[in-house]
């Protein structure tokens, strides 16, 4: 059996596990994304909890199956909760995903928070190309929290981040998964150009990655979530070509994904060793 086929079989196993276990995912995410992220997790089969204050963070992280931290619109209390939850997740072996939204020299306060969060060894770091480039120490110009770089140009330099994490996921026109465990880069194709037109799709992708992280290895978690989104985006666009109707159809396909659709529509390539 080829490595690619083995990976797809493991993605399908992870999808089945997600449906069966409905893992509890603590989300510390941004104010723009809360509702959408929760709906995507519910549609995919997980159980979201948007617990983001420092007074409840430690106790809730301890009972969570996974943690997702997104620094999109940080407040003072929320950043305190992020640090508490990340430390707790590391101590209790709770898989967690870091989404360094807007990381760079312009937004210094949040970027310093991300630097602190890295000491707690996120299981997976997920972001767009500009964020991952900046996080890897390469100063780039970003357009607010939107990427101005191509993910294909960034995955080589982002490999330095493997000192902090087990897996790196860079989203873009094609997505790139960098696996410390397997020592490879996996390219995920598909999706739709309308996905970036919908608020919080990237944030929801990070949360779904955390959900898969509760039921599979870091590499398979990142791969499964990105395949899940790429197929849902592709099939949604077949049914709806305008942003509003596409948004509804995309959520439908996040929910309707199954083993047959994964086998039929996945598009991945194993590129190189890291």
Task: Read off the pLDDT of residues 113-162 as tens digits, 9 standing for 90 and up.
Answer: 999 999 999 999 999 888 888 898 853 444 444 444 555 567 778 888 99
SS3 letters across the chain = CCHHHHHHHHHHHHHHHHHHHCCEEEEECCCCCHHHHHHHHHHHCCEEECCCCCCCHHHHHHHCCEEEEECCCCCHHHHHHHHHHHHHHHHCCCCEEEECCCCCCCCHHHHHHHHHHHHHCCCEEEEEHHHHHHHCCCCCCCECCECCCCHHHHHHHHHHHHHCCCEEEEECCCEEEEECCCCEEEEECCCCCCHHHCCCHHHHHHHHHHHHHCCCCHHHHHHHHHHHHHHHHHHHHHHCCCHHHHHHHHHHHHHHCCHHHHHHHCCEEEEEEC
Do residues 218 and 166 lie in contact, with contact meaning Cβ atoms separated by under 8 Å? yes
pLDDT for residue 139: 39
How many CA atoms lie less than 13 Å away from 213 in the CB half-sphere?
31
Do residues 26 and 96 lie in contact, with contact meaning Cβ atoms separated by under 8 Å? no
Domains in the chain, number: 1
Write the CATH number for 115. 3.40.1190.20
Question: For residue 23, what are the domain limits?
Answer: 3-273
Binding-site members for substrate are 50, 200
pLDDT for residue 130: 85
pLDDT for residue 154: 75
pLDDT for residue 35: 97
Binding-site members are 50, 126, 171, 200
* pTM confidence score: 0.93
Ordered per-residue pLDDT tens for the chain, 274 residues: 799 999 999 999 999 999 999 999 999 999 999 999 999 999 999 999 999 999 999 999 999 999 999 999 999 999 999 999 999 999 999 999 999 999 988 999 999 999 999 999 999 999 988 888 889 885 344 444 444 455 556 777 888 899 999 999 999 888 999 999 999 999 999 988 989 888 899 999 999 999 999 999 999 999 999 999 999 999 999 998 999 999 999 999 999 999 999 999 999 999 876 6
Binding-site members for ATP are 126, 171
């Amino acid at each position: 059996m080829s490595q690619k086929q083995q990976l797809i079989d493991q993605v399908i196993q992870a999808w089945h596990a997600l449906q069966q276990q409905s893992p509890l995912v603590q989300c510390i995410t941004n104010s723009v994304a809360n509702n959408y992220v929760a709906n995507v997790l519910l549609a995919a089969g997980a159980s979201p909890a948007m617990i983001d204050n420092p007074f409840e963070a430690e106790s809730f992280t301890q009972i969570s199956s996974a943690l997702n931290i997104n620094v999109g619109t940080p407040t003072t209390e929320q950043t305190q909760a992020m640090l508490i939850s990340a430390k707790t997740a590391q101590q209790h072996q709770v898989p967690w995903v870091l989404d360094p939204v807007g990381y760079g020299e312009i937004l210094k306060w949040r970027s310093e928070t991300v630097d602190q969060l890295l000491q707690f060894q996120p299981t997976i770091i997920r972001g767009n190309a500009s964020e991952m480039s900046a996080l890897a120490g390469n100063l780039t110009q970003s357009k607010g929290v939107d990427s101005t770089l191509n993910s294909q140009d960034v995955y080589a330099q982002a490999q330095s981040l493997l000192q902090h994490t087990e897996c790196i996921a860079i989203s873009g026109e094609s997505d790139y998964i960098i696996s410390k465990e397997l020592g490879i880069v996996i390219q995920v194709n598909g999706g739709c150009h309308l996905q970036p037109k919908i608020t919080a799709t990237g944030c929801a992708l990070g949360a779904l990655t955390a959900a898969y992280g509760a039921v599979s290895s870091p590499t398979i978690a990142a791969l499964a979530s990105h395949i899940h989104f790429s197929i849902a985006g592709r099939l949604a666009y077949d049914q709806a070509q305008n942003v509003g109707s596409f948004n509804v159809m995309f959520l439908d396909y996040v929910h309707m994904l199954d083993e047959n659709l994964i086998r039929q529509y996945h598009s991945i390539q194993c590129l190189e060793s890291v």
